[in-house]
Amino acid sequence: MALIRGAEMKPNESKTKQILLFGHDAMLLSTRKWLMDEYGNVHLATDVDTLRALAERYSFDLVVVCHTVTAEECQQLLDAMQSRSPEANFLSLMPASHAMSPTLRNASVSNTEKFELVDGDPGVLVHKVCEILRSAQVEYDV
């Protein structure tokens, strides 16, 4: 099966993985969902209420935080994920041409060791998602 954009995981290899995309640009979230649908069950949240409802319902393997999320919302996200998804990995996206807000970066890093800052480029995102989900699969298999 062909790999997508240099990704290390084959499509459908981890269909049971739960992925959450959190941000405020619905069209951008839909595009990112389309890119990641092959790698797990992707859920979208554009507001904190939806985020909390999804956090109560699912245990996530990966949470992608888009650049539109504020530091306060990031903190709410981390709080919501603590009980249901303690093993979740986090990717914080930023546009290629912008540095992430130090407030958001500090809020993120102070709450979890599994929070990574990455470029929001689609190819980079898919590659990083595959890398994280593959390492999570290895951890679960051990």
The partner residues of 81 in beta bridges, in order of sequence, read: none
Q: Where are the domains of the chain?
A: 21-141
- Contact (CB, 8 A) for 33 and 41: no
pLDDT in tens, 102-135: 444 555 444 445 667 777 777 788 888 888 888 7
Residue 115, strand partner residues: 90
**Average pLDDT value for the chain:** 75
CATH 2.50.20.10 fits 21-141, yes or no: no
Name the pTM for this structure: 0.73
Please state, in angstroms and rounded to a whole number, the distance separating the CA atoms of residues 126 and 142.
25
Residues 6+ apart with CB under 8 A from 90: 62, 63, 64, 65, 78, 108, 112, 114, 115, 116
Return the minimum-mean-pLDDT range out of 68-72, 85-89, 103-107, 138-142: 138-142
